[in-house]
Amino acid sequence: MIFILLAATLLFCGSFLIQGWVPGNFGDLYLYVLPFRHFAAETLQGGQVPLWNPYIFSGSPFLASPQSSLFYPGTILFYFFPLAQAGGWFASLHLFLNTFGMFLFLRALSLTRTASLAGAMAWGFSFFFLAKFSAGHIIHLSGYSWFCFFLILFLRQPTWPLASLASVLMFFSGHLQVWILTMIFAACLWMRRLVRPGVSRPNWESALTPLILLAGVVMVQALPTLIFSLRSFRTLIPILMGQRAAYDFASSYSMEWKSLITWVLPNFFGNPMQGMFIDPGSPSTYLETYALYFGLLPLGLAFAGFWDRLKEKKYFMIALALIFLVLAMGKNSVFYPWIWKIFSPLRVPARFYFLVLGFMIVSAALFWNRRISGGKSWIKAALLLLIFIDLYANGKKMVWAQNPADFMMSGGVLSRFSKELESAPMPFRIFSDSKIANPNKSMLFRVPNVNGYEALWQGSTLRYFFLTQGMESVSTTGLLEVSAEKDSFKLHAVKYCVSGDSDVRPILSPSPFAKGDPEAACRPIGIWRQGPNKIISVWKSSSSRTFSAFLSEAFYPGWEAWTDQGNRLNILESDGYFMKASFPNFQPPRRNIYWIFRPLDFRWGAWVSAAFILYLAGLGAFLSQKALQERVS
């Protein structure tokens, strides 16, 4: 069966794997995934941990962003293979893992191979997961791919520690919403077991061990991400923009009840891949809320399976599926106005649908197992073929090959800026406005940008531009339009505003990247970076005195400043966004200041994770040795 699922995966993905291209998508692969993976690989190959990203938002935490996926094993592909090839193989691998995981899960429920294969194909090749290719959401797909493996191990108490390791992989994959929804689902199963009559109740002590293991191993990512999340723009939306804006953010991409028509008619509302979606300007609306199809036959089997459970008075699975469906409807359900604040940090309520889909698949497989598995082999083979042909014929349009060179490789004006930065005595930034679809492309050319594209970015960025440029200057993923002549904007050391290769506007009288107090007669004469986490600034003065050194880099806890004599300087936030260090006793003529980003949350998290990993390694070695001795004796 594994070879059947592997062959089916290759049929979907072969077009871009053969050409060494990437899955065709509407942007997130280019906006987000590939620039981040390139930056991480380049930094690690240079012998540093990418803690800080100097190329977007005038500097921003990198490792603390969960979608950096720095500790996820699958990310290794991007460290050893060309960017495009790694992206294609990464997406294909996780499509297969997701499909194969459902097959193993259904087999763990004691279903036949054909029932499990039918469920696996309907799950893995459903529109919900194929849409991750079209959206460029391969980080999401990598998280979903561990869902079934987690459930297999979670269903049996002796394997709970292994379930925690599957949860670790899901957490490290980078999309926290997938992990959080999975933990909500696991909590529902736990509560069900607690109240179900005739079933042994779970041991709380046995549950505590895997939870501690999970928390300990992921601490290197979880602690920086937690601190970053608490300081992110999402926490400031209700404060700066009001509760209505916070509600709109939390309820964006809610499913609509009418979208369930696509269970039967997948193209009823059109689709953006063929340019005929009802909302042509928003393909993401289709990919998040209308990509629900998982095959006509599996749909019929699912409802037949639910009917069987109703007749048997087994309501749990149906009730939970309905609850998750209502949650997926978000603002289009009557209950959401009461509970939206609970899920407000997550956004995209429609992603609850994957739990609904899971119940539908299990119901379909159970019905197959009961009513079809005993039938003739040729009938089962024909039905399996029918399921795959249906999903392939309707879903293949979501998976196509795209040449990344058309979007990523041509530097144009960015190549010019990169060369100019190499010879410039003082760094500068650009600002790519809303006409530039991919502000993160500057990361590929090491060109610092005031703008960027991120799902989680600093709250100080939102506050600064909201207060100095107005509400219209910000969006939920980055910056829009700004007034380039404002002094507050020039503090970002912007030299060029960019709207395209042929539309570059120099900024008149740009502010320098670093400056000292005018009355102190102390000025910077050279600034350069040693990797993303360290900046060296050289200052000159003819007199010995105290002065403040301003640096046009975003302030964030974890930045330190040291002099060339080993004295640590006090860093404060300056002008609501940047950094300033007080130099108490400047000795002329020249002195260096070393600005280093090494946040305490990362160091603490790394020590905790290392301790737990060493403990697990030691425990594993002890148990292996013990098992070997018992076998010999």
Q: Which helix (H) or strand (E) holds 310?
A: helix 296-311
Q: Residue 513 and residue 111: Cα distance in Å, rounded?
A: 65
SS3 content of the chain, % helix, strand, coil (to 5): 60, 10, 30
pLDDT at residue 199 is higher than 70: no
In the structure, what pLDDT confidence band is assigned to residue 519 with cuts at 50, 70 and 90?
A: low
In the structure, what pLDDT confidence band is assigned to residue 435 with cuts at 50, 70 and 90?
A: confident
- State the first-to-last Cα distance of the chain, in angstroms, to the nearest integer: 38
Q: Are 561 and 573 in contact (CB under 8 A)?
A: no
Q: Residue 329 and residue 258: Cα distance in Å, rounded?
A: 10
Number of CB atoms found within 10 A of residue 228's CB: 24
Average pLDDT over residues 252-264: 96
Strand-pair category, 494-500 with 429-432? parallel
Q: What is the pLDDT of residues 300-356, one digit of tens each?
A: 999 999 999 999 999 999 999 999 999 999 999 998 989 888 887 788 999 999 999
Q: Which residue has the tokens 């006509």?
A: 296
Q: Which residue has the tokens 């507050």?
A: 488
Q: Are 397 and 273 in contact (CB under 8 A)?
A: yes
What pLDDT was estimated at residue 156? 84
pLDDT at residue 55 is higher than 80: yes
| DSSP letter (8 states) at residue 200 | P
Phi and psi, residue 216, nearest 5°: -70, -45
What the block records as the tokens of 88 is 């294609």
Q: Which amino acid is at 484?
A: A
pLDDT at residue 409 is higher than 70: no
Average pLDDT over residues 288-298: 96
In the structure, what pLDDT confidence band is assigned to residue 292 with cuts at 50, 70 and 90?
A: very high
Q: Would you call 630 helix, strand, or coil by DSSP? A: helix
What pLDDT was estimated at residue 412? 79
422: CB partners within 8 A, 6+ apart: none
Phi and psi, residue 336, nearest 5°: -60, -40
Q: Are 384 and 117 in contact (CB under 8 A)?
A: yes
Strand partners for 140 = none
pLDDT at residue 288 is higher than 90: yes
Closest CA to 123 of 321, 293, 320: 293
Q: Which amino acid is at 262?
A: T
Give one DSSP letter per residue of 135-157, joined into a string: HT-HHHHHHHTTHHHHHHHHTSG
Average pLDDT over residues 59-70: 94
210: CB partners within 8 A, 6+ apart: 160, 161, 163, 164
100: CB partners within 8 A, 6+ apart: 2, 5, 120, 124
Q: What is the pLDDT of residues 71-123, one digit of tens each?
A: 999 999 999 999 999 999 999 999 999 999 999 999 999 999 999 999 999 99
**Percent with pLDDT over 70 in the chain:** 97
If you count DSSP H runs as helices and E runs as strands, how many of each does the chain have, helices first?
24, 15
Strand-pair category, 534-540 with 523-529? antiparallel
159: CB partners within 8 A, 6+ apart: 152, 153
Q: Residue 487 and residue 491: Cα distance in Å, rounded?
A: 6
Find the range with the poorest average confidence among 198-212, 319-333, 540-554. 198-212
Q: Are 450 and 58 in contact (CB under 8 A)?
A: yes
What pLDDT was estimated at residue 539? 87
Q: Would you call 107 helix, strand, or coil by DSSP? A: helix
| DSSP letter (8 states) at residue 75 | G
Q: Are 555 and 460 in contact (CB under 8 A)?
A: yes
User: Is pLDDT larger for residue 588 or for residue 253?
Assistant: 253
What pLDDT was estimated at residue 520? 59
Q: Would you call 628 helix, strand, or coil by DSSP? A: helix
Q: Which helix (H) or strand (E) holds 432?
A: strand 429-432
What pLDDT was estimated at residue 451? 94
Q: Residue 88 and residue 24: Cα distance in Å, rounded?
A: 10
Q: Residue 522 and residue 546: Cα distance in Å, rounded?
A: 10
Q: Residue 293 and residue 270: Cα distance in Å, rounded?
A: 13
What pLDDT was estimated at residue 206? 67
Q: Residue 481 and residue 483: Cα distance in Å, rounded?
A: 7
Reported as half-sphere exposure (CB side, CA atoms, 13 A), residue 494 has a value of 29
Phi and psi, residue 338, nearest 5°: -85, -25
What pLDDT was estimated at residue 631? 76
Q: Residue 631 and residue 164: Cα distance in Å, rounded?
A: 28
Average pLDDT over residues 279-297: 93
pLDDT at residue 198 is higher than 80: no
Q: Which residue has the tokens 């009559």?
A: 197
